[in-house]
Chain A
């Protein structure tokens, strides 16, 4: 694929991520921070997020599985998770987290568990999409240098 074609494809992928609500403008803030000194800044941040959030997800899972459920701890974890995901612009994940926190505040264990599955799904979907996106960008970069 010629480099322009790739560029276009990447642009399309990126646009669709926004259009479909996976990313919000905070992601753009990250993109703007990327420069020649940090050419892979966005990718680094996303990678960092996923590493860290995996840990958080595990903690949440443990808390959800324990009986009785410690809702305040759950809320704490979710607060962190929400803060993290919002900082990279993960729109859907963040809004699911907000819903979760409401259920958590209400002490609704079932809803929390159900909602948490959504969160994990969104989290995984976004990860795949972003990985694909970065992969394409990597290829385009390579194509440009050839």
Chain B
């Protein structure tokens, strides 16, 4: 389907949207957006309510998280987006975030007077699609609708992709839809399914491209069925197909289950630490359908996933991908089904959750989740997983060592890392690192690290073994890049170059220009985010003056670009609000992410709905765009060559991106204040 405009696509694709009553709704959009706002402070709550009403949204307010959850549970499809404070007496805002992501999969925006990097990063990793600093201005609220659109678009794409990919599966389902229509209505989906059935039954099969994406609302019951099925199969053997069969819920598709499974795995991982991660990883690896044998796409996916998780700045993602593609060595049959991958990667809203159980965004934001989902503590394990992954994958795309590391130092670092890794855990990783060192100096420096490190390791590793590469360097990467990596860095002595530099400084804040756009795809990487439109969420602003449009224009390949452009535009404007506070980077990243997304999608993305394709072309485009975006974007914060040293690795650059220079320059623009590679002790 060609999404020529966000609105148009939404009205077409959103079967579950309540706005869709014909054309009028799309015309009114975003008016009528149903917002649930949760804040224990009565003053703030009242102000927010008034502001949201002034934005023509339909507002419901709660002063307690529990109340909010029960309202959401009662009325699954009754809300489009949730705004929640971080500090609440009865429940931590991040916990609420996780619950919502797991059960309802709604975009969530966090708010807090606290603008510390740690907190913002936490929002990102928990999968918030945005993070607003109090006092919240009305301008910041005017654009929150974009998160809803983005999410739906991603879900739609995912749906579409899976649809096209699994045509065979769909056919039998199609015929069953009619039979299930009535029973489906009684099912858990109720609202969404009902709408879907009523309106799309006949179209489902044919309109893969214009299919409205039925939003699956994972109610408590449905989730319990899911968990029961998973437990029955064993978490390691739980594949979406089997889970689907066991659950036997009419109307539930494999994709829904797959994406939910991703989230669930992240959630478990978070609960149990690394061990889960590893098992998930191996599960992912083993559970892949051999149908998607395209290694290149896999590697691209991995990168995207990484990027998506927001950990990997868009740019680095691009780089990685470029690097990966360039090297594209053998993508050793990473069995990751594209569809699954897509799920993983297609997080627009990086709802990365770090901590406690959030399953969130498995569906779209799998990428994001993957990255974020990986707690820092998991790093060593992640590496192990990576190692496993690498082994199984046998593909050592050099994913570009996390770019965080100073470019100049990257190579040596990577080498070191490689060595270290060897000692530590991943002999494979080491190899990868070594091989990739040369190739991905840039990438690693900018983005790879954070992303790779945690989230990627798990997910990506399964794919290409890229994660491994990424991982290692990830940690040492610029602390500013991603908080994520930063934390990890400290944990992975071997891998992280810049352990010293990873004081958990979120990239976002380093620049000071991070948009609160938590949900931007890139989230993680402060400056480099832009090219990764993984986030969301988040969790997540809109960099100011990015010429996102340029990005979008670069790809005239498909709707993706169009939509991307739209997204970019949105993000641009949206980002403006928070100023160059921590939010900026996010926004930046987000735009980039969006751009990158588009880029990816323009290419051969068959399965990846969002810009996950790792086509080199895309990468290049992406890189271009990101670069462009970046330069534009990074205006106020001392964009000055943030990593002049980091991106000195032309080899890698050239390998990765056609536009080394631009990338390099753009990288320089990634503004990791104070956290530039230069500061990272190697």
Any chain B CB within 8 A of the CB of A14? no
Is A121 located at the chain interface by the 8 A CB criterion? no
Contact B43 A45 (CB under 8 A): yes
Q: Is A79 an interface residue (CB 8 A)?
A: yes
CB distance B138 to A52 under 8 Å? no
A87-B87 in contact given A33-B138, A48-B42, A52-B41 (Cβ < 8 Å): no
> Is the CB of B54 closer than 8 A to any CB of chain A?
yes
Residues of B within 8 A of A76 (CB): 87
Specify which chain A residues have a CB less than 8 angstroms from the CB of B135 in the assembled complex: 26, 29, 83, 86-87, 89
Contact B43 A84 (CB under 8 A): yes
Q: Is B46's beta carbon under 8 Å from chain A?
A: yes
Nearest chain B CB to A102's CB is how many angstroms away? 13
Judge whether A144 is part of the interface by a CB distance below 8 angstroms: no
> With an 8 A cutoff between CB atoms, is B241 at the interface?
no
Which of A26, A41, A83 contacts B112, CB < 8 Å? A83
Which residues in A have their C-beta under 8 angstroms from that of B222? none
Residue A30, interface by CB 8 Å: yes
Query: How far, in whole Å, are A79 and B44 apart by their CA atoms in the complex?
Result: 13
Interface residue total, chain A, C-beta cutoff 8 A: 23
Q: Beta-carbon contacts of B57-94 to A below 8 Å, as 1s and 0s?
A: 00000000000000000000000000000010000000
Q: Are B114 and A48 within 8 A (Cβ)?
A: no
CB distance from A142 to the nearest CB of B (A): 25
A49 near B114 with CB under 8 A, answer no
**Structural contact, B137 and A83, CB atoms closer than 8 A:** no
Question: Which among B42, B44, B112, B137 is the interface contact of A29 at CB below 8 angstroms?
Answer: B137
Nearest chain B CB to A106 CB, angstrom units: 16
> Among the interface residues B40, B47, B51, B136, which one has the most CB atoms of the partner chain A within 10 A?
B47
Q: Does A80 contact B (CB under 8 A)?
A: yes
Q: A45 touches which one: B47, B114, B137 (CB < 8 A)?
A: B47
**A87 cross-chain contacts in B, Cβ below 8 A:** 41, 43-44, 47, 134-136
With A83-B41, A86-B134, A87-B135 as given contacts, are A33 and B47 in contact (CB-CB < 8 Å)?
yes
In the complex, the chain B residue whose C-beta lies closest to that of A76 is B87
- Using Cβ atoms and an 8 Å threshold, which residues of chain B touch A29? 51, 135, 137-138
A130 at the binding interface (Cβ < 8 Å): no
> Which residues, 16 to 58 on B, are CB-close (under 8 Å) to A?
40-44, 46-47, 50-51, 54
A80 to B50, alpha carbons, bound, how many Å?
A: 20
Bound Cα distance from A49 to B44, whole angstroms: 9
B50 contacts across to A, CB distance below 8 A: 33, 38, 41
B220 in the interface, Cβ–Cβ < 8 Å? no
The yes or no answer to A36 lying at the interface (CB within 8 A) is no
Residues of B within 8 A of A123 (CB): none
B41 CB to closest chain A CB (Å) equals 5
Is there contact, CB below 8 Å, between B44 and A84?
A: yes
Chain A residues close to B by CB (< 8 Å): 26, 29-30, 32-33, 38, 41, 44-45, 48-49, 52-53, 76, 79-80, 82-84, 86-89
Closest 8 CB pairs of A and B: A83-B113, A87-B135, A26-B135, A49-B43, A86-B135, A33-B50, A87-B44, A84-B43
A sample of 19 more A-B contacts (CB under 8 A), given A30-B47, A33-B51, A52-B43, is A29-B137, A33-B47, A45-B43, A48-B46, A49-B43, A52-B41, A53-B43, A76-B87, A80-B40, A83-B41, A83-B87, A83-B134, A83-B135, A84-B41, A84-B44, A86-B134, A86-B135, A87-B135, A89-B135
Residues of B within 8 A of A (CB): 40-44, 46-47, 50-51, 54, 87, 112-114, 134-138
